[in-house]
Structure 1
Amino acid sequence: MSIRRISFVLFFSLTSVLLSKGGSIKKVENVISQRIGLDSIIFYGKILEQTTEKVIPSATIQVISINDREIIDRLSSDQEGRFQMRKVLRDSILLKISHVGYDSLDFFLKTSSISKEPLIIKLFQKSRTIDEVSIVLKAPIVEEKDGKLIYNVDETNNSDSFAADELLRKVPYVSVDFNGEVKLRGSSSVKVFINDKPSTLIAGSVSDALKLVPASMIKRVEVITNPGAKYDAEGTVGIINIITKRDLKGINAFVNVSAGSIGNANIAAGGGISNTKFSSNVSLTSNYYRNKIHSELERNSYGDQTQYLFQESDIRAIGRSYGANLSSSYNFSHKNILSAGIQVNDVNNDRDEDISFWSSVKGVGADENSRSIDNKIKKPGYSLHLDHNLKLKGDNHTLISSIILSSSDDNNHYFLNRDRAYDDRSFNLQKRKELSAQIDYSKPLSKRINLEFGMKYIGRAFNSSSLMSAFDNASQSFELMDSSLNEMDYDQQIISVYNSYNVSLGKGFRSNTGLRYERTINDGRVDRLHSFENDFRNLLPSLSFVKSFGKTKQSIRLSYNQRLQRPGITFLNPFINRADVNNVRYGNPNLKPEKSHQIEVAYSNFSVNKLFFTLSPFFTIVNNSIQEKRDVGSDGSTSVTFQNIGKSRSLGGNIYFSYQDSKFSVAPNLNIFYSKLSSDTYSNKGLTMNASIFASAKFSKGFSLELYSNYNTREINLQGYSDALSYSMIGVKKNIINKSSSISLSMLQPFHKNVKLHTEVSGYNFNQNSTIVAPLRQLRLSFRYQFGKIKKSAKQDDSDVIEDKNAGGTAIPVN
């Protein structure tokens, strides 16, 4: 039996055993209210009608954490109107009580004010005339929780961001260049999740996938620089987790439209329906863009003879992308939830490029050549997921299982015309398929120790085939070039298991220690003639110690972990791209994973009202670093590939500060680090800095203003560096139609019409300078409209109970 089949048998066997043992939940009829330790609280009560004081059975009680605005439990009153809860609580909670035919009631309950008396809740019937009041829970723009830096998108005006790639520019520690490449702490070795899930749609092209996630559907962005053992080990610098809005109640819908002056246009639409049992959300996105890029390259190479090359090109790019997403969940009970979803993407990019170049040997005999390239790239794909969340007997006792199936293509074709004399064309077809199955189990071993255990299987299949044909003038047809045939099959299996312990040490100290084992089995074949196999086993520890300073909302965290970065198909694919004969690119199927060690100290302070501050110095070591390697051959052309030739050392820190009140917010951010790269042949070192500031202000009559600016100093690589870049935006937004809609006007790059990127690269026998110039300034008009019955969380208050302004009922709080 194969490893894949064995893994699936184990996966479903464990699920069945745990389900059979934890499926029944007994209702406790009589509960004595009590406190257990410092955190565990039991409270109970009864729900009555306001006027007659008759009991109300089957009423729904949602228990919401004030700190993170997440639903932590759902209760239901029995036939006598009674309910009870025993849950580990560290913060005050919001109770939302509702029943068909009655007005809902929201009120707060402090965990420090629990007595042995029952909580009596009285609801009014809906026959009363009630004025609607919205209660909104205000959260900080940025907060630190459980080792995550959380950027709350709902708390920003967000007037300029249409999609996720634009919104990420505002997130602390994260940078996005003008090509859409996402980096965390200056490194692109980052894993991007959407709703806690990876996908080949993202792994294939992060920038393309993020353009299809509407910014208006994003609830928050979590930056995890030191993931624990529970997370996949991929991503040497950490994880960016994008959480979308999935907790809107009732029926809701939205439409977003945006158009820019340089030819960009975007539209997104979607909606959802939700009640206490079932919820479903759908979104559709379409993007169109066009751009013109001018580039120049100058190279001197040295060997038996000195060669000089000057090349310039003009690119006209047009892109179209489409995305659809459907997700649904069903609550068999508040302890048994099944959810599923499907995402479909289709990305199409067309590039027409005119290249002219001049070359000479020893300064004489200059040759002039030109060519035109028609490049077509098509990337369709889909992803399916099925999740089951089961709360077992006891607090924080859960079993979560998940299956994900995804597939994506990356088809790259080009048609080449050289000097108008002869033509050739090339086809490269890439396919990725991935199937993953995962189980996560959590159980408190005592009131201070929580156990987490899980295992995961990932099966990946890559296939790449390419060929080139040249036009034959005699036959007036394209003839296949046998030497250009290239085919690769690459199968990868990853089997992992982890175990971690979250321990409350007392006096504000907590620890999280874990160990993750991952085995990677690779099996590859190139041109069906050459095969290779390798097997990697990694034991990856993670440690985290946190000290919280009581009510001051200050904390300090010390953490260490090991991470991996496995090379993707772009790095592995041996397809030789000869579209630019002076710069030939190909992958390396013999690459090994990178392995990193990271130590971080993070200090967070939210003790002063409206202010948040975090400081996090870090040190990272990356071995087997995958670096781009450039060499110049005897014919003067550059070959670019990837090798495990580098070692990287980075010492740096992140500083973030934010101020926020009801009318104004400002958030400066600074990332600075010193890096040293080395290999047997080359070395480089230097200081890199990324600084940004975001500010917004609200005015009367629904107007608001938003400013954003970002500056990146030059970026080093193993063989050279890239010059500094900056990006700025100013936007104005006006709320209309009872604040359910808005219209925005924003100016991107108001101070520079074009973005200009200069790069210098050198090797033992060459030096090269290149410059890319692309228009970036644009005026963009956006319109957003949302409608339907949308409910949000309630606003925090200093009192134990908030008076229900719509007179939906009363609550007698615990004294």
Structure 2
Amino acid sequence: MRFLLIFFIIISAFCYTAHSSTNQGRITGSLIDSLTSKPIPFVTVSLNTADGKTITGTLAGDDGTFTIENVVFGTYQLALTLVGYRSKKIVSLTISPEKPAVHVGTILLIPEPKLLSEVKVVGQKALVERKNGHIVYNAERDASTSGGTAADVLRKTPMVTVEPDGNLTMRGSSSIKVLVNGKPSAIMASNLADAIKQMPASIIKSVEVITNPGAKYDAEGVAGVINIITKKALTGKSGQVTLAGGNLNSSVGINLNLQGDKLGVNVVLNGNQKKGFDASEGTRTTLLNDQPVNVLKQTYANKSSDFGEYSVVSLDYDPDSLNRINLSATFSGGKARTNSSLFSRLMNVDGTIEQEYNRNIQVRSPTANTEYNLSWMRTYQKSGREFSVLTQYSRMPGNPGYTVVQTPVLAEVPDYLERSQSKIKHNEYTFQTDYIDPFMLPIRQDTLSITLETGLKGVSRKTGTLSTVEQAMTGKESDYQIAPDRSAELNYGQRILAGYLSLRVETGNQWALTLGGRYEHTQISSDNLSVQTQFKGNYHNLIPTVNLSKTINEKHTIEASYTQRISRPQIEYLNPFKNYSDSKNVSVGNPDLQAELAHATELTYSMYDDKGTSLSTTLYWRQTNNAIEWLKKVNTEGVALSTPQNIGQEARFGGSWYLSFLPAKDLTVTVNNDLSYNSLVSPSLSQRNSGWLNSGGLVISYKLPKDWYLEGSWYYTTGWLYIQSRYKGYTYLNLTGKKEFMQKKAALTLRLGNPFKKYIILTGHSKAPTYVSDGNNAYVYQSFNLSFSYKFGHVGVKEGKKNKKIINDDKKQASKRG
């Protein structure tokens, strides 16, 4: 607490006491076509003295906006030039202490009449690029995701894998945190696999893959952070309607923007229906002292359906040019149902059948997650200096349940019934402050650009679960009785207090060094009412981050980094309720789990050129202590109990790379690959496993005349590795065709998923002291989807401040494979 108090005093001193003055300002604006009213990217913006001498300049972004920073007080001219447009000058721009920030507004550029039919602006942002030390996938440039979901976007993001069962991994680890606009999302925290299928792809601008997060990020997420950036608001009244239909996924969505100079409203409404089909078969042999005891054969067939919705309402208010207030609410819910048929046969080693039955299992998982954000950001006349206060409240209730009807083989009447109902309550409160202050420090023969970042954060989480089980041993509905030994109740609390300090130093010869430290104090309390046990504890973590980079000739960068990461288990890992929906495979959480702690080191080289080529290669090493995995133990009756445990140590080293280039006009090729060696060691279990893993993808897109687009993408993975098991991988092909019309306001997109192969099949082998097993899982992945989108309204680009968001990237997502 003393450490956090000192941090609070430091922040208060920086933010509310007098600060050194500056004699620099900035100029901002936006550029649109005078005929189409569309933003014009890559315009050269030159800053000239009053007599016309060029001092500095910049290029407008792909949204037509531009910013020139660090402009010394004085009077200037702006010169705007781009091939195909008439040049334009803006004169008598004065930057002064009274008005250090000048916004020139929206500027109309007039196309050259003689060149209208001849000139095409071919400059465009790369599909994949490296920015600020992390990889960015520019989803808005991808025509193939129309009518899809965030899962379709993430499937094409380098280093990210969306598994057939919906789980998300990065560099082979499921311990990742997914943020939306730099903030946590209640739907992401509650069920990541379902959440990414509910968010529509139409609202996603880009995806950032951050494998070496700095001190300002929560220390959670062993593999790193994935940040989904949604499309920015535009001035005026605008919107987009999207309709999509297919054999596995259908949706309808609307995105509305009402943006003025001070007040802006954004509304996203999306409804979707998803279907899934999969089947599995497996054989497991129970072992006792390395000798077989019995053999279990099982086959599964699952059919799932999910009706979901995703809605966002966001309100921005700018009372003046230096302040912004944002209020937003997100709702995500759905009714997921899975119907399964299970056949089980348990035999002695001599082949005698001990048990043989069929089970019909119906699982219901209704959700209704809500999240509210309120933030205030204050910028200053000094460019880059800002202070923000952010608050968040999340509510994530759940009411899952299942019913089981068991019937002996060759019988028509069930002999056993079971049903379960659970109530889950999760409330989360967050308060956060951040302060950023850049300044210049003249030294001998150079001037250092220094950026100071510091902040405080507090998180309080309260989770409660209550589960009951009823059984009918006769198979009759009238004989249901509560099974008290199968019920479970848990109350779990977690409080985190954190503070961070980061200093980035940049030199004139393009060296950059970032040093950061983050302190986190965690308090946990657990009250397992089922067995009358309580636990309270606390622990401290001091997380260092170091990043050193050198840029050569503006186009080549070498970067080295080191950081530590934590992953705290959430309710899926902690819930003590035993799930008996498959009586031969019982699962239960572990309230005594400890957090994972990882060390991560990277060495990266990246480059780009003026021809659109972008390349990045990374060597990395990651060691995770107290690694968490679901482990299985089988008793002599052939019943397996799966529970998460801290197995010991997981080490991974390898390399990843991506390459994006334009071999011909209107043709873009992007390739990515990750190769690593993974080693898992558990001294307490006397088990280990190791092996090479590889994954990657290829995307080829081509722009045809008359606004036609074609794209093909191919992905592969060699599989997954766990302490007790290994799964072989699969390949996936996606073909897309898109046609724009009505002056590019409307578009029709056809996507074919895995058109030449109906199933993706995963083959797995598991081995432990109490069992050995082999199995196959088959998922229907062959799909088609036809979508229509229409944009409406008149828009311009809104210049202003970005909303600051809370980042709670600190909860380990559940994954039971292995």
Give me the TM-score of the superposition, normalised by structure 2: 0.83
Q: Quick one: distance in 1 between partners of 2:552 and 2:502?
A: 24
Q: Quick one: distance in 2 between partners of 1:302 and 1:415?
A: 31
Task: Provide the residue aligned with 2:714 in structure 1.
Answer: 709
Q: Secondary structure at the match of 1:773?
A: strand
Q: Quick one: distance in 2 between partners of 1:583 and 1:29?
A: 66
- Displacement after TM superposition at 1:65 (Å): 6.5
8 A contact 2:144–2:737 mirrored in 1: no
Task: Provide the residue aligned with 2:368 in structure 1.
Answer: 380
Structure 2 CA distance for partners of 1:732 and 1:285, relative to 1, 3 Å: same
Q: Quick one: distance in 1 between partners of 2:552 and 2:282?
A: 56
- Displacement after TM superposition at 1:190 (Å): 0.8
Q: Deviations over 1:759-810 (max 9, x none)?
A: 111111210112112221122111111111133699xxxxxxxxxxxxxxxx
Q: Secondary structure at the match of 1:186?
A: coil
8 A contact 2:605–2:617 mirrored in 1: yes
Q: Quick one: distance in 1 between partners of 2:88 and 2:153?
A: 32
Q: Secondary structure at the match of 1:138?
A: coil
Q: 1:546 aligns with which of 540, 549, 565?
A: 549
Q: Quick one: distance in 1 between partners of 2:315 and 2:286?
A: 59
Q: Secondary structure at the match of 2:573?
A: helix
Tell whether 2:796 aligns with 1:791: yes
Task: Provide the residue aligned with 2:811 in structure 1.
Answer: none
Output aligned runs, 1:52-451, within 5 Å.
66=60, 85=71, 138-159=124-145, 162-260=148-246, 262-303=247-288, 306-366=293-353, 367-419=355-407, 420-447=414-441, 448-451=449-452
Structure 2 CA distance for partners of 1:505 and 1:466, relative to 1, 3 Å: same
Task: Provide the residue aligned with 2:813 in structure 1.
Answer: none
Task: Provide the residue aligned with 2:54 in structure 1.
Answer: none
- Displacement after TM superposition at 1:744 (Å): 1.1
Q: Quick one: distance in 2 between partners of 1:530 and 1:444?
A: 51
Q: Deviations over 1:289-327 (max 9, x none)?
A: 222222112111122861011111222211111111011
Tell whether 2:535 aligns with 1:532: yes
Q: Quick one: distance in 1 between partners of 2:723 and 2:88?
A: 58
8 A contact 1:268–1:286 mirrored in 2: yes
Task: Provide the residue aligned with 1:626 in structure 2.
Answer: 628
- Displacement after TM superposition at 1:639 (Å): 0.7
Q: Quick one: distance in 1 between partners of 2:351 and 2:25?
A: 97
Of 406-415 and 667-676, deviating more is 406-415
- Displacement after TM superposition at 1:347 (Å): 2.2
8 A contact 2:25–2:101 mirrored in 1: no
- Displacement after TM superposition at 1:213 (Å): 2.0
Q: Quick one: distance in 1 between partners of 2:326 and 2:106?
A: 34
8 A contact 2:147–2:243 mirrored in 1: no
Structure 2 CA distance for partners of 1:107 and 1:273, relative to 1, 3 Å: farther
Q: Quick one: distance in 1 between partners of 2:26 and 2:308?
A: 58
8 A contact 2:8–2:456 mirrored in 1: no
- Displacement after TM superposition at 1:393 (Å): 4.3
8 A contact 1:136–1:793 mirrored in 2: no
Structure 2 CA distance for partners of 1:252 and 1:107, relative to 1, 3 Å: farther
Q: Quick one: distance in 1 between partners of 2:25 and 2:328?
A: 38
Tell whether 2:741 aligns with 1:745: no
Q: Quick one: distance in 1 between partners of 2:606 and 2:367?
A: 42
Tell whether 2:548 aligns with 1:563: no
- Displacement after TM superposition at 1:362 (Å): 2.6
Q: Quick one: distance in 1 between partners of 2:163 and 2:669?
A: 22
Q: Quick one: distance in 2 between partners of 1:506 and 1:302?
A: 67
Task: Provide the residue aligned with 1:800 in structure 2.
Answer: none
Q: Deviations over 1:152-193 (max 9, x none)?
A: 222332355611111111111111112222211121111110
Q: Quick one: distance in 2 between partners of 1:29 and 1:166?
A: 42
Letter aligned with residue 693 of structure 2: T
Q: Quick one: distance in 2 between partners of 1:317 and 1:124?
A: 50
Q: Quick one: distance in 1 between partners of 2:183 and 2:517?
A: 21
Unaligned runs of at least 5 residues, structure 2: 28-45, 52-56, 92-99, 408-413, 442-448, 800-818
Structure 2 CA distance for partners of 1:421 and 1:30, relative to 1, 3 Å: closer
Q: Secondary structure at the match of 1:701?
A: helix
Task: Provide the residue aligned with 2:472 in structure 1.
Answer: 471
Of 558-567 and 158-167, deviating more is 158-167
Of 476-485 and 233-242, deviating more is 476-485
Structure 2 CA distance for partners of 1:467 and 1:571, relative to 1, 3 Å: same
Letter aligned with residue 152 of structure 1: N
Q: Secondary structure at the match of 2:590?
A: coil
What is the root-mean-square deviation of aligned Cα atoms in Å?
3.7
Task: Provide the residue aligned with 2:657 in structure 1.
Answer: 655
Output aligned runs, 1:489-638, within 5 Å.
489-527=491-529, 529-551=532-554, 553-638=555-640
- Displacement after TM superposition at 1:29 (Å): 12
- Displacement after TM superposition at 1:333 (Å): 2.1
Letter aligned with residue 641 of structure 1: T
Q: Percent identity?
A: 26
Q: Quick one: distance in 1 between partners of 2:491 and 2:103?
A: 64
Q: Secondary structure at the match of 2:143?
A: coil
Structure 2 CA distance for partners of 1:707 and 1:120, relative to 1, 3 Å: closer
8 A contact 1:159–1:733 mirrored in 2: no
Letter aligned with residue 666 of structure 1: V
- Displacement after TM superposition at 1:368 (Å): 1.5
Structure 2 CA distance for partners of 1:666 and 1:608, relative to 1, 3 Å: same
Q: Quick one: distance in 2 between partners of 1:245 and 1:214?
A: 12
8 A contact 1:505–1:511 mirrored in 2: no
- Displacement after TM superposition at 1:756 (Å): 1.1
8 A contact 1:246–1:281 mirrored in 2: no
Letter aligned with residue 524 of structure 1: S
Q: 1:667 aligns with which of 655, 666, 670?
A: 670
8 A contact 1:201–1:406 mirrored in 2: no
Q: Quick one: distance in 1 between partners of 2:106 and 2:547?
A: 49
Q: Quick one: distance in 1 between partners of 2:561 and 2:781?
A: 40
8 A contact 1:11–1:439 mirrored in 2: no
Structure 2 CA distance for partners of 1:122 and 1:146, relative to 1, 3 Å: closer
Q: Quick one: distance in 1 between partners of 2:88 and 2:163?
A: 44
8 A contact 2:147–2:786 mirrored in 1: no
Letter aligned with residue 536 of structure 1: Y
Letter aligned with residue 780 of structure 2: P
Q: Quick one: distance in 1 between partners of 2:239 and 2:630?
A: 45
Tell whether 2:723 aligns with 1:721: no
8 A contact 1:541–1:561 mirrored in 2: yes
- Displacement after TM superposition at 1:28 (Å): 9.7
Letter aligned with residue 162 of structure 1: G
Number of corresponding residues: 735
- Displacement after TM superposition at 1:204 (Å): 1.3
- Displacement after TM superposition at 1:533 (Å): 1.1
Give me the TM-score of the superposition, normalised by structure 1: 0.83
Letter aligned with residue 737 of structure 1: M
Of 603-612 and 488-497, deviating more is 603-612
Q: Quick one: distance in 1 between partners of 2:232 and 2:577?
A: 41
Q: Quick one: distance in 2 between partners of 1:30 and 1:121?
A: 8
Structure 2 CA distance for partners of 1:502 and 1:66, relative to 1, 3 Å: farther
Q: Secondary structure at the match of 2:706?
A: helix
